[in-house]
């Protein structure tokens, strides 16, 4: 059964101060690391890049230009994955996601789940706030911090994106369909690079 991976590298990196997905870690871009890890499960890897991209493809099989939002960029990748039965979506800014994590989310979908995502238990107390005032305190044992890679039955992901909706992750669009999303154990080392100091920390750790 064909597996395609979409590595999302189309962001502007406003908080980072530049396109973080093309910052270097161990001599290679974050996007290149993510492409390599995605290839551990995928037969075909597409990387979605900004309009001004001038790179060498980051090791992907195909490079496509993304859109104004993350969801638009995923749809651009999805458009070239016609033959895939399963699709894995990975953020380029998570270069340390392990091959076993890719395998875990994909295995859950192969077993029948519509979608599978990695989640890590929340250690801090989380407050819901509106207008600077606490509205509620959700039970911490019911919360997880969600990561990528996320895996999907391709037909479900295409249906989720058919309405051209916008969400911070693809699982959110699948949830909106009423489909169940399975959570597998995430990795605390699977850090998302958001600020320059995040990258410094990865470099200092010897990653």
pLDDT of residue 17: 54
pLDDT of residue 205: 47
Residue 63 backbone phi and psi in degrees, to 5: -115, 130
Cβ contact 49:59 at 8 Å: no
The vertex-136 CA angle with 171 and 195, nearest 5°, equals: 55
pLDDT of residue 15: 58
Cα dist. 33→69, 128, 152, 156, 169 in Å? Answer: 22, 35, 21, 27, 20
Just give the CATH number of 3-115+146-204.
3.90.550.10
Listed in sequence order, the residues at least 6 apart from 137 whose beta carbon sits closer than 8 Å to its beta carbon are 125, 126, 127, 128
Provide the β-strand partners of residue 29.
Answer: 24
Provide the β-strand partners of residue 185.
Answer: 119
Query: What does pLDDT average to in each consecutive run of 10 residues of the chain (207 residues)?
Result: 91 64 90 96 97 93 94 96 96 95 98 97 95 96 96 97 90 95 96 82 53
């Amino acid at each position: 059964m064909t597996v395609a991976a979409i590595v999302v590298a189309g962001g502007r990196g406003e908080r980072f101060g530049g396109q973080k997905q093309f910052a270097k870690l161990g001599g290679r871009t974050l996007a290149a690391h993510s492409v390599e890890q995605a290839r551990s499960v995928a037969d075909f890897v597409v990387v979605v890049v900004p309009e001004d991209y001038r790179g060498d493809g980051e090791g992907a099989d195909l490079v496509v230009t993304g859109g104004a939002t993350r969801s638009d960029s995923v749809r651009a990748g999805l458009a070239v994955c016609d033959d895939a039965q399963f699709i894995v979506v990975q953020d380029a800014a998570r270069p340390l996601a392990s091959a076993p994590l890719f395998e875990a989310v994909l295995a859950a979908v192969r077993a029948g789940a519509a979608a599978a995502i990695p989640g890590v238990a929340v250690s801090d107390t989380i407050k819901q706030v509106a207008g600077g005032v606490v509205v509620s305190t959700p039970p911490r044992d019911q919360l997880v911090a969600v990561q990528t890679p996320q895996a999907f039955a391709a037909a479900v992901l295409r249906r989720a994106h058919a309405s051209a909706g916008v969400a911070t992750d693809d699982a959110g669009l699948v949830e909106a369909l009423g489909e169940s999303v399975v959570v597998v154990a995430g990795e605390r080392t699977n850090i998302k690079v958001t600020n320059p100091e995040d990258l410094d920390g990865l470099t200092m750790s010897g990653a």
